[in-house]
Structure 1
Amino acid sequence: MSNRQNQTEVILIGAGIMSATLGSLLKELVPYWRITVFERRGGAGEESSNEWNNAGTGHSSLCELNYTVEQPDGTIDISKAVKVNEEYQFSKQFWAHLVKSGRVPDPRDFIMPVPHMSFVQGERDVAFLKKRFEALSTNPLFPGMEFSDDPGKLKEWIPLMMKDRTVNQPIAATRIETGTDVNFGALTRILFKQLKDQNVDIHYNHQVKDIKRAADGLWEVKVKNLGNGMTERHAAKFVFIGGGGGSLHLLQKSGIPEGKGIGGFPVSGLFMVCKKPEIVQQHRAKVYGQAPVGAPPMSVPHLDTRVIDRKESLFFGPFAGFSPKFLKFGSMFDLITSVKLHNLTTMLAAGVKNFQLTKYLVQQLMLSKEQRIEALREFVPDAKGEDWELVVAGQRVQIIKDTAAGKGTLQFGTEVISAADGSIAALLGASPGASTAVSVMLEVIRRCFPQHLKEWEPKIKQMIPSYGLSLVQHPELIQDIHISTAEALGLGNRTH
């Protein structure tokens, strides 16, 4: 590029929760840096971060059974649960900092206290849940968790789920009052409003078409203005690709070797939603069950209280489906155009290994409304079809890569892919996603700005006191963090 008028320090691609978080962190650390954002939609948080496109769970492993795995010897591995919980504490600390500093005017606009529960049926799953409860209860990150296999107690906890239920097998639940419901769409919009007020240059209706490395080391970004059809060129020292499902294509265009051999598998989601106050008021919790055999981890069924624009509703799902689109507003050619020579064998291997998963997703897509209501009745026995509507949620692209587990392994989680020199990074993957945005973006900062870490660390620790520490090894800090974040975020005088 000969014209460097459009040069900036940082370009953020995608106006979702990840770019919002990275931009907010960088503006706290280096407020004088120039940051430019490109988003192809007309506003912030309109794809995966949108409140109607995800479950809104503040993922801290309080209820998600797939984060705790039973080992062959019968013990429960809680390592992933601990990791996700600690990462969510990062997010809560940063959000609390933004509230205290006036960046976020009212936390009730995006976060509300909602109990988190796990619910199981059958002797085997009840035994698993009890062992899980015992394993987590001894960990200081999970204070206040309760277990019950008494139907009478469960009627107090989840009256809607126990109403008209025939109890002909063992049932049990765990409950922890200090879970959260998070409106990530609202949070994303709040953060981008603040970034705009801090002179971040935000361009909506602008689609990034190409990314190339220039001879002088800067990244050149080719952008189409969807409003007037004009093509623009911008350059930056650092580029972050936070385009959700669209990130893989842009990573491939960058040509960095770290992006070679990686593929993506799209999974669509649907929820059943109830907005009737007389039903909604009978249930206040996020209740997670066990995933059906053959289902991907993100398809764990759950019945959730949601708070959107301060109005409560109930979500049940997700029902998985298959679409070749990588974004909800994407192209039917997204999957096929993501297949390159460098990832072809990886993608083929994944196709062979995951045939049953593909079959499951197609079967889910073919379900009728009545069949979905039947699945809902596992949670709400007297559910009626006319009380629930179907909402199409967002697309998630799961990473496919070669690992120690074999060629073409489907990865369930989020992963940062960055160039060796730290000049460009991309975020791929899905759950737990938004809940761990602060932790993931701190990882981006650690990888991509190592020369600044020593200078920035005091400020990071001011914002996030547990930064650089294992909370499990500092139980006294856990209590302080739980109290301070609950107070700042309006979550009540609680221990979590």
Structure 2
Amino acid sequence: MSSIQIKTDVILIGAGVMSATLGSILKELAPAWEIKVFEKLAGAGEESSNEWNNAGTGHAALCELNYTSEKSDGSIDISKAVSINEQFQLSRQFWSYLVKSSVIPNPQEFIMPIPHMSMVQGEKDVNFLKKRFKALSKNPLFQGMEFSEDPDKLKEWIPLIMEDRTSNEPIAATKIDSGTDVNFGALTRILFDHLKSKNVEVNYKHSVKDIKRTDDGLWKVKVHDIDSGKTEYHTARFVFIGGGGGSLPLLQKTGIPESKHIGGFPVSGLFMVCNNPEVVARHHAKVYGKAKLGAPPMSVPHLDTRYIGNKKALLFGPFAGFSPKFLKTGSNLDLILSVKPDNLLTMLAAGVKEMALTKYLIQQVMLSNEQRMEELREFIPTAKSEDWSIVVAGQRVQVIKDTATGRGTLQFGTEVVTAADGSVAALLGASPGASTAVNVMLEVMERCFPQHMKQWEPKIKEMIPSYGVSLTENPELFHEIHTATAQALGLSEKKTVFS
């Protein structure tokens, strides 16, 4: 067994969309920095970022009802929706910059325009949706949103969903045409091809086994070359852990105080995919419903038009499942091995508090194919079993941590954990995830490279014009930027629909 020791400036762990985004931004800001990437799989974007392992929604809170909540006085809190939309605008700006810089020659390889819709049934939820629409419509970020409870209008918008619908319950929907379908797998591969052209060393089939602090303040990363069997030791000033569900175990290995009292709970996902091209052709939208009572936010059912491999697809889901693995390609021991003395009480407290989630997951695991079809028929009454099959999606590790609301609180968002000195950062959590990658990586840089931010700011604003500015409070700037990014990304014209 041979041992090699190599020094570099930046190490990125995981070849997903987060590492791809951070690497691409850093190469623009500090082109002389040496960057190395280690990925245990054979290629980029093969785990959480892969197009079959996530919903492919450009999360801008245009249709996701869990980003708006009803307050005790009956009013609608849209603050989270506004925040997520603002974050997605940063991603659009950076992608547009890469298109104009010829890094991305054809944006249609990863992003397509698709209407985003919310659909609800029942008087209570229809009233909620109407109030939500009125609240969002006052904000410039949501201009162009329409609301209807007219069955004839809904038949125009969603003919497949409305066909042969016999329920007498009221039904309503909102629709906004500025939504997007994003192939994060394709985007990740494009960005890593670019990074390799910029002399970034990307090492596939290299598994990171340990991360330790050296006496001189660097981080030593132990890497196993899967093909050769060799063990390598790489040191760097800065390490980013962007390994999806695999980030938590690696963060724990750093031993930094910020890694303590954090746990993770894995949730697997299934989607139903339509095999009948005639059915696929009759639906053109991402339609999000409302999670059932007691179900977690990541269980919101949605019927999605997708563009995968230059082909139009139709997916419904997600259906949750349980696997102790933290990654789709992980180990059945992942969950057990993540429990440490410092997070044991945190994990136990979560177990007590989240009995409803446990019950929900058990129910989901026990579903038969016909029971899944019944859930699909709530969206498509005419759905036929022979037209649909199951696709296993990616693993998501929900963060568990101690918060002001109590020990062992389950988090459903995206979390950045950084060392006090900014020398290591890790990304944990799930949705909105990839859609807000640019905002998340800017946050990483602000925490980890504060001494460089003043020098970098002009270049950041060149790439992301609204950096540091609220688009909500500057509607003219939003309109200007939104129009420019739509044009650069090819979202402003009707696209040819793939067969």
* Amino acid in the other structure paired with 2:407: K
**Secondary structure in structure 1 of the residue aligned to 2:142:** coil
1:33 matched to 2:25? The reply is no
* Amino acid in the other structure paired with 1:218: L
**Secondary structure in structure 1 of the residue aligned to 2:50:** coil
1:63 matched to 2:67? The reply is no
Deviations 1:337-371 (A, max 9, x none): 00000000000000000012111111101111110
Q: Counterpart of 1:158? A: 158
Distance 1:281 1:121 in 2: 25
Contact 1:99–1:489 (CA under 8 A) maintained in structure 2: yes
Q: Counterpart of 1:23? A: 23
Q: Counterpart of 1:413? A: 413
Q: Counterpart of 2:249? A: 249
Contact 2:259–2:417 (CA under 8 A) maintained in structure 1: yes
Contact 1:307–1:313 (CA under 8 A) maintained in structure 2: yes
Distance 1:164 1:5 in 2: 66
* Amino acid in the other structure paired with 1:355: M
Distance 1:129 1:491 in 2: 27
Q: CA deviation at 1:163?
A: 0.7
Q: Counterpart of 2:284? A: 284
Task: Report the count of equivalent residues.
Answer: 492
Q: CA deviation at 1:139?
A: 0.2
Distance 1:378 1:27 in 2: 48
Unaligned segments of structure 1, at least 5 residues: none
Deviations 1:60-108 (A, max 9, x none): 0000000000001100000000000000000000000000000001000
* Amino acid in the other structure paired with 1:258: E
**Secondary structure in structure 2 of the residue aligned to 1:482:** helix
457 and 41 in structure 1: CA distance in 2 versus 1, 3 angstrom threshold: same
Alignment of 1:364-383 (within 5 A): 364-383=364-383
Q: Counterpart of 1:336? A: 336
Distance 1:320 1:75 in 2: 31
Q: CA deviation at 1:444?
A: 0.3
Distance 2:5 2:377 in 1: 60
Q: CA deviation at 1:182?
A: 0.1
Q: Counterpart of 1:216? A: 216
Distance 2:4 2:48 in 1: 33
Q: Counterpart of 1:436? A: 436
* Amino acid in the other structure paired with 2:187: L
1:86 matched to 2:58? The reply is no
* Amino acid in the other structure paired with 1:187: L
Distance 2:350 2:5 in 1: 45
Q: Counterpart of 1:307? A: 307
Q: CA deviation at 1:177?
A: 0.7
**Secondary structure in structure 1 of the residue aligned to 2:134:** helix
**Secondary structure in structure 2 of the residue aligned to 1:141:** helix
* Amino acid in the other structure paired with 1:173: A
Q: Counterpart of 2:497? A: none
**Secondary structure in structure 2 of the residue aligned to 1:325:** coil
Distance 1:295 1:45 in 2: 29
Distance 2:341 2:440 in 1: 29
Distance 2:450 2:367 in 1: 50
Q: Counterpart of 2:472? A: 472
Distance 2:475 2:16 in 1: 33
1:113 matched to 2:94? The reply is no
Unaligned segments of structure 2, at least 5 residues: 495-499
Contact 1:210–1:250 (CA under 8 A) maintained in structure 2: yes
Q: Identity, % of aligned pairs?
A: 73
**Secondary structure in structure 1 of the residue aligned to 2:328:** coil
**Secondary structure in structure 1 of the residue aligned to 2:141:** coil
Distance 1:275 1:57 in 2: 21
Q: Counterpart of 2:96? A: 96
Q: Counterpart of 2:180? A: 180
Contact 1:276–1:313 (CA under 8 A) maintained in structure 2: no
Contact 1:14–1:38 (CA under 8 A) maintained in structure 2: yes
* Amino acid in the other structure paired with 2:296: P
**Secondary structure in structure 2 of the residue aligned to 1:54:** coil
Q: Counterpart of 1:231? A: 231
**Secondary structure in structure 1 of the residue aligned to 2:399:** strand
Q: CA deviation at 1:167?
A: 3.5
1:449 matched to 2:449? The reply is yes
Distance 1:455 1:178 in 2: 35
Could you list the runs of 4 or more consecutive aligned residues of structure 1 that deviate by over 6 angstroms after TM superposition?
A: none
1:123 matched to 2:120? The reply is no
Alignment of 1:135-174 (within 5 A): 135-174=135-174
Deviations 1:197-231 (A, max 9, x none): 00000000000000000001110000001112111
Distance 2:493 2:382 in 1: 35
* Amino acid in the other structure paired with 1:131: K
Greater Cα offset, 433-442 or 222-231: 222-231
**Secondary structure in structure 1 of the residue aligned to 2:215:** coil
Distance 1:92 1:332 in 2: 37
Distance 1:299 1:310 in 2: 28
* Amino acid in the other structure paired with 1:230: K
Contact 2:4–2:231 (CA under 8 A) maintained in structure 1: no
* Amino acid in the other structure paired with 2:307: V
Contact 1:93–1:463 (CA under 8 A) maintained in structure 2: yes
* Amino acid in the other structure paired with 1:346: T
Distance 1:280 1:328 in 2: 27
Distance 2:362 2:269 in 1: 12
Deviations 1:433-461 (A, max 9, x none): 00000000000000000000000000000
Contact 2:213–2:219 (CA under 8 A) maintained in structure 1: yes
Q: Counterpart of 1:8? A: 8
Q: CA deviation at 1:248?
A: 0.3
Contact 2:66–2:297 (CA under 8 A) maintained in structure 1: yes
Distance 2:178 2:475 in 1: 17
Contact 2:68–2:80 (CA under 8 A) maintained in structure 1: yes
1:195 matched to 2:190? The reply is no
Q: CA deviation at 1:5?
A: 5.6
Give the TM-score normalised by structure 1: 0.98
Q: CA deviation at 1:275?
A: 3.3
CA RMSD of aligned residues (A): 1.0
Q: CA deviation at 1:257?
A: 0.2
Distance 2:359 2:92 in 1: 39
Deviations 1:220-253 (A, max 9, x none): 0000011121111100000000000000000000
**Secondary structure in structure 2 of the residue aligned to 1:8:** strand
